[in-house]
Amino acid sequence: MSGEFSIIGKPTAMIDAAAKTTGAGKYTDDLRVPGMLIGKILHSPYPHARIRRIETSRAEKCEGVIAVVVGKDAPNPYGILPVGHDEYALALDKVRYVGDNVACVIAVSEAIAEKALELIDVDYEVLPAYFDPEESMKATKDLIHDSKPGNLEKDYHHVFGDPDKGFSEADHIAEARFIANEVTHAAMEPHSTLASFEIDPHTGKAGRLTVWSSTQVPYYLQHKLSLVLEMPMSQIRVIKPLVGGGFGGKSEVIPLEIIAAVAARKAQAAVKITYTREEVFWAHRGRPRTIIDLKTGIKQDGRITAVKARVVQDGGAYCSYGVVTILYSGALLGALYDIPNIQYDGYRVLTNKPACGAMRGHGTVNVRFAFESQLDELAAKIGMDPAEIRQHNLLKPPCITVNGLRVQSYGLPECIEKTVERSGWKQRKGKLLKGRGLGIACSHYVSGAANSIIRSDMPHSTVNIKIDRDGGVVVYTGASEIGQGSDTMTAQVAAEVLGCSLPRVRVIAADTDLTPIDIGSYSSRVTFMAGNATLRAATEVKKLIAAAAAKQMGCAVEDLIFRNDQVFKQNAAAASGAGLANESIRSKRDEASVSGRVEGQILRGSLQQKRKEEGPKDSLTFEEAVVAAIDFHGTLTGTGSYAPPQEARGGKHKGAGVGPSPAYSYSAQVAEVSVDEETGEVVVHKVWAAHDCGRALNPVSVEGQIIGSVWMGMGQALTEEMVWKDGMLMNPGLLEYRSPSSVESPEIEPIIVESIDPEGPFGAKECSEGSLAATIPAIANAIYDAVGVRLHESPFTPERVLAALRAKRNAKSLGLTEGVDPTAPARFREHGGSLCFKGKGPERHALDPSRNSAPAVPGRAD
Amino acid sequence: MSLPEFRLLRPRSIEDAVRCLSEHLGKDGLSLRMLAGGTDLIPSMRQKLFEPEYVLDLRGIVAMRGIRPQGDGGVEIGALTTLRAIERSDFLRQHYAVLTEAAATVASPVLRNMGTIGGNICLDTRCLWYNQSLTWRKGCGFCIKKDGDLCHVAPGGTKCWAVFSGDTPPALLCLDAEIEIASANGVRRVPLNDFYTGLGDNYRKLQPNELVTRIFLPASTAGYRGVYRKLRVRGSIDYPLAGVAVAMKSYDGHVADARIAVTAVNPAPLLVKGAGELLMGKPLDEALAEAVGDLAAKTAKPLTTSALTPEYRREMIRVFAKRAVLAAAAN
């Protein structure tokens, strides 16, 4: 069997899988350096307060405490977006959410640091706080940030086409409010950072800084550290060890990363901080609670005439990625279906809660839930099959959408066809047992943003390749492996181009001293961008090898084929009957046995020399070709970079920078659910998920990403919800924040659709995020199909489903959802209970030093 | 979050254990905590809900493990018997089905390997305002159950409403279980029904120097059909948000004896009063089951101690009680 490719397109085990599965792999918290200290952060107990005074002297006097860091130790602001530098390492004068960072104790052990936290006295002036974005927008005083009137981080108002005309042409219009409650990433690995300064040998002072951190964006971290610490970037080295999942929660600079570095500087020792799970929830940067007022018009034939969306995001206390999130929510109304007229009003609002940021499917997921639900309602209105109405609104690529997004490859039609076929949609829809139903929905996502958030024309990815006389291929990439398989993808692409075997390739990734710049693992950009950069670097090296090999083999460069660790003449391969068959080439190589013996001996060179002197050959082993190339060129390196083409960078309107991508992935899903009409419990039995990833470089990895997306989407659809009461997060742990367990995990049938993108590496696009957004509306639509209730508020918890069911059958209201109708939610619902004491809390605690005349001093008790 | 410092005591016998208890009680009785499976105690200690000077690790006491059928047809279960062992016991499944069913729903397999029946009986009551880190609780101003003087769940009240969240006690109540309690003063045996106070903070009648050593199930309830129904958001890991246990004996298509108990909706697991009388001597049909459900719902007083709304949890007690008696009758 010979295919077009020898490495890509084959299910390939992750190259770092063994270390992870045996426990040998090192994550940041596994690291320690001599003399390392532990940092613990003091968090604000108030949602909004001015800091009058911080008194740290008692904590500093504790035995085992080396230093206490406060805001004024590093007063420079930072933030992931250039327009959002509103965060400080530690609060300067104000805290803005329960959990905000106030001080950090550096001590010889975690226990001592924790005890010393209790000895820091902070004098707060409590301010009125804002928890509901629509209330927050009305604020005139006690603003969360003085520079943001009306607590409005950013608002955008876009009109594309003529929405009014579109609605006037519509035969049916649906209009409703949807609410999607807040969710977080819940990555398995809590954030961890280890920071260590070297002593400058000339001055004896703190010199270069090395930071190991669980991050998706080592280069952004290097940049922000340089801003806060006032150090040149060249003096800061960021290393990303293994990362246990990111999902966006590590796609920006998280407070502990800055705090650890500031702490290491002050303590004059290496400092490690690892978040508790509760701190991970406070660091957050998840998907904001979102209010979507959506209006869609269609013609009787199912064609969409106009869409109008007003989106309000409850963004939390800092900007984070907020400006990008609110733009994605509007921009990606386009590029899935052909919508001629779009009006979008987006409001990113500040509230006194942890900052929301980027999370898998950034900005698109909640709006997609609303849109796909409403489309289903409209299909029902005109009596059209829900799959069919989607097929009536397809784009006709290549095209540019009304809001300026360029679409080239477009596998959505095939995705819909395949899911419909595999799920037995046509035969089974509407014919299932009572309480059981099918729902369909679609989604899409960018393969990397065409415009980087740092607004620079530099390449988004650069890759260097070095091959030495040992025949080993070393790929240096700044792309961050966070569990998604980026290192494996890089190795596969390099091996495919060079025609060498996978074990020959070593990937050195995400170390700012060693690897060329890459803007990070977010917005599903790595396969497309770092993949293209790898492809280009490998092609460049291959040219060098080919030139030398062709000379030695006495043929033209064009006649060479690189495959299976061999370089051979095209016609020779055909003549010998070996063709491209992997097996025969392998056995041929073994017979020649030169390569086998020569491996590891090429530095000695005698055998090489002998073979070289034998005259022109029909084939060379990879090592021979490499040695020939190094002898010829002196060194064998190549470099490649990728910057999105100008045509893909979108329109000119304000905010046009977010949404454009060189390519979009597409997804269609059918969910089969059953609903218990007496309890409101929803069981997802199966999800058929088709995803257009351009080309599956590693099919097993693509399937894993589709399954993971569906599973994560199901969590947001059914069980996951951050529950608030006046700024207190009621469920800051994995017991009460309920990600699905293996028991609820449905059968997921991933279906790979390959549209072969003209610009992707070997035609590949993204596969990690696009599938998530379809799952939530697919389940919502399936619930409707099963029991006839249309939920407009996620997650579809049993209380919400039952409330809707009871309302439908006109049963007596039991107040199951405390007055918020899940089929027409008007406002956010907070957790019940009381915080009427307001601000009396801390003084009551037994450990509070002010209660005891002679407080226990930690570390001195015998 | 680090574990607070403590000294670990590791008795090898019940006598050793009760001696440790009386020696290290401390003035207020708060300086020692017992560890059986540790699945609840360890996270709570990390959250600084308990900062005992001593931890009494009971796991080395072999005499407190095991399921021992008695000559009279009853059974004696050591308090340290793991929930996994109970779930897997053929004898218990055959004779006291409701108990194995309830045990099998506790948390997750990994936790059931560690967690014990004694620990499940003594399980600390839970509340979203209580089972939080020290830092979090500072933010809410603490509560009656720990370090504070008010209740967030029933504002203005002086009673703690933390909810009892064990799965096996309602089953045990239905089976007329008794427990043996040992102390330096000797042993006493009390019906499990008298063990709980109904208060959220001081939730059980156990002196600081006392230890639950054994559970007895009488011959009289052996062979009762049993069903346990548990409300939870996930199919694993979660504590109950509402739970209903039913044990029932039928004769000739009529209910001869029945008991129903609810959990996770009050500060104690409670037998539903009048349920037995309501069912006695009648053939079980949908209408009767509905009536039982209504009765159970009246016993439930859920508050905002847990996830999902109290109204929903009470409604589920009604639905689950109805379903449970129907399922028990159909068994």
In sequence order, what are the residues at sequence separation of 6 or more whose Cβ sits closer than 8 angstroms to the Cβ of residue A135? none
pLDDT reading at A578 higher than 50: no
Number of domains in chain B: 2
Residue count of chain B: 331
> Which residue among A743, A798, A841 places its CB closest to the CB of B142?
A841
Does B46 or A845 have the greater pLDDT score?
B46
Cβ(A105)–Cβ(A115) below 8 Å: no
A106 pLDDT more than 50? yes
CB contact under 8 A, B133 and A797: no
What percent of chain A is predicted at pLDDT more than 70?
92
List the single residue in A with minimal CA-CA distance to B107: A735
The predicted complex's ipTM stands at 0.97
Whole-angstrom distance, CA of residue A95 vs CA of residue B57: 42
State which residues of chain B have pLDDT below 70. none
d(CA A733, CA A246): 17
Task: Average the pLDDT over A436-441 and give the result.
Answer: 98
Q: Residue A854 carries which DSSP code?
A: S
Q: Does domain A149-184+285-451+650-808 have CATH number 3.30.365.10?
A: yes
Identify the residue with better confidence: A607 or A209.
A209
**What would the pLDDT profile of B147-203 be if each residue is shown by its tens digit?**
888 888 987 778 999 999 999 999 999 999 999 999 999 999 999 999 999 999 999
Does residue A586 have a pLDDT over 60?
no
Query: What distance in Å separates the CA atoms of residue A327 and residue A310, rounded to the nearest whole number?
Result: 12
Comparing alpha-carbon positions, the chain A residue that sits nearest to B138 is A842
Which chain A residue has its CA at the smallest distance from B48's CA? Answer: A847
Say which CATH number the domain at B33 has: 3.30.43.10
Which pLDDT tens digit goes with each residue over A294-344?
A: 999 999 999 999 999 999 999 999 999 999 999 999 999 999 999 999 999
From B11, B34, B62, give the residue that closes a domain: B62
Same domain flag for B56 and B199: no
Stated pTM of the model: 0.95
A111 contacts B136? CB cut-off 8 A: no
- Averaged pLDDT for residues A833-859: 43
Tell me the HSE value of A95 on the side-chain side, using a 13 A CA sphere: 29
B84 occurs within a structural domain: yes
> Which domain range does residue B313 map to?
65-122+163-330
Closest CA in chain B for residue A681: B233
Contacts with B148 from chain A: Cβ below 8 Å? 841, 844
Contact list in B for residue A799 (CB cut-off 8 A) is 308-309, 311-312
Residue B158 within any structural domain of the chain: no
For A282-351, the DSSP string reads: HH---BPEEEEEEEEEE-TTS-EEEEEEEEEEE--SS-TTHHHHHHHHHHTTSSSB--S-EEEEEEEE--
Q: Using an 8 Å CB-CB cutoff, list chain B residues near A797.
A: 233, 308
Q: Residues B38, B50: one domain?
A: yes
Give Cα separations from A565 to A247, A523, A547, A550, B315 (angstroms): 36, 35, 17, 16, 68
Q: Is residue B147 in a domain?
A: no
B291 lies in a domain? yes
pLDDT at A403 over 80: yes
Chosen from A41, A720, A831 to mutate, greatest number of chain B CBs within 10 A: A831
Q: What is the mean pLDDT of chain A?
A: 92
A840 to B155: CB separation less than 8 angstroms, yes or no: no
Contacts of A832 in chain B (CB under 8 A): 153, 303-304, 309-310
* Domain termination residue (choose one: B15, B33, B62): B62
* Confidence at A837, pLDDT banded by 50, 70, 90: very low
More confident residue, A576 or B97: B97
How far A56 CA lies from chain B's nearest CA (Å)? 17
Residue B142 covered by a domain: no
* Pairs of residues, one from chain A and one from chain B, whose beta carbons lie less than 8 Å apart: 126
CATH fold for the domain made of A458-642:
Aldehyde Oxidoreductase; domain 4 (3.30.365)
State the nearest Cα–Cα gap between A725 and chain B, in angstroms.
10
Taking only the tens place, the pLDDT of each residue in A13-31 is 999 999 999 999 999 999 9
Residues B214 and B81 occupy one common structural domain: yes
Please name the amino acid found at residue A825. Answer: P
Q: Which amino acid is at A574?
A: A
CA dihedral of residues B206, B212, B217, B218 (deg, nearest 10): -70
Mutate to test the interface with A, among B3, B234, B236 (most CBs of A within 10 A): B234
Give the model confidence (pLDDT) of A440-481 as tens digits.
999 999 999 999 988 788 999 999 999 999 999 999 999 999
- Helix or strand holding residue A21 (H, E): helix A17-22
Q: Are residues B58 and B71 in the same domain?
A: no
**pLDDT above 70 for A610:** no
Please tell me whether residues B167 and B58 are part of one structural domain.
no
Residue A104 has pLDDT above 90, yes or no: yes
In a domain, B242, yes or no: yes
Q: What is the pLDDT of residues A500-559, one digit of tens each?
A: 999 999 999 999 999 999 999 999 999 999 999 999 999 999 999 999 999 999 999 999
Q: How far A737 CA sits from the closest chain B CA (Å)?
A: 10
Do A831 and B4 make contact, defined as CB atoms within 8 angstroms? no
pLDDT digits (tens, 9 = 90+) for A335-367: 999 999 999 999 999 999 999 999 999 999 999
The answer to whether A98 contacts B2, with C-beta atoms less than 8 Å apart, is no
Please, which residues bridge with residue B257 across strands? B249
| Per-residue pLDDT at A602 exceeds 80 | no
Instruction: Give the pLDDT confidence score for residue A847 in this predicted structure.
Output: 38
The domain at A31-127+188-245+250-284+840-851 falls in which architecture? Alpha-Beta Complex (3.90)
Distance in Å, alpha carbon of B304 to nearest chain A alpha carbon: 6
Beta bridge partners of A209: A197, A236
> Would you say residue B102 lies in a domain?
yes
**Of A419, A493, A856, which Cα lies nearest the Cα of A695?**
A493
Across chain B, mean pLDDT equals 96
Same domain, B175 and B50: no
Better pLDDT: A604 or A234: A234
Which pLDDT belongs to residue A604? 52
**What pLDDT was estimated at residue A584?**
41
Chain B residues with beta carbon closer than 8 angstroms to that of A678: 319, 323
Sign of CA dihedral A261, A262, A263, A264: positive
Domain boundary assignment for chain A: 31-127+188-245+250-284+840-851, 149-184+285-451+650-808, 458-642
Report which DSSP code applies to A755: -
Identify all chain B residues contacting A738, using CB atoms and an 8 Å cutoff.
233-234, 238, 307
Instruction: Return the pLDDT at A589.
Output: 44
Q: Are B211 and B14 in contact (CB under 8 A)?
A: yes
**Pairing relationship of beta strands A724-725 and A682-692 according to DSSP bridges:** unpaired
Mean pLDDT of the region A56-73? 97
More reliable by pLDDT, A4 or B244? B244
Measure CA A314 to chain center. 20
Same topology, domains A31-127+188-245+250-284+840-851 and A149-184+285-451+650-808? Answer is no
Same domain, B52 and B27: yes
DSSP class of B196: B
| Residue A862: pLDDT over 60 | no
The pLDDT of residue A613 is 63
| Count of all residues that appear for chain A in the document | 862
* Residues A774-798 pLDDT 10s: 999 999 999 999 999 999 999 999 9
A contacts of B315 (beta carbons < 8 Å): 802, 814, 816
- In this structure, of A149-153, A165-169, A832-836, B35-39, the range with the lowest mean pLDDT score is A832-836
Distance (Å) of CA A359 to CA A287, A482, B185: 6, 14, 60
DSSP H/E element including B263: strand B254-263
Judge: B150–A837 Cβ closer than 8 Å, yes or no.
Answer: yes
Q: Are A844 and B147 within 8 A, CB to CB?
A: yes
Q: Give the distance from residue A247's alpha carbon to the nearest chain B alpha carbon, in angstroms.
A: 22
CB-based contact B142 A742, cutoff 8 Å: no
CA distances from B128 to A16, A833, B147 (A): 40, 10, 15
Mark whether B260 and B195 lie in a shared domain: yes
* Mean local confidence (pLDDT), A156-182: 98
For CA atoms A317, A319, A324, A327, give the dihedral sign. Answer: positive
Residues B13 and B96 in one domain: no
Tell me, yes or no, whether B297 lies in a domain.
Answer: yes
pLDDT bin (cut points 50, 70, 90) of residue A268 is very high
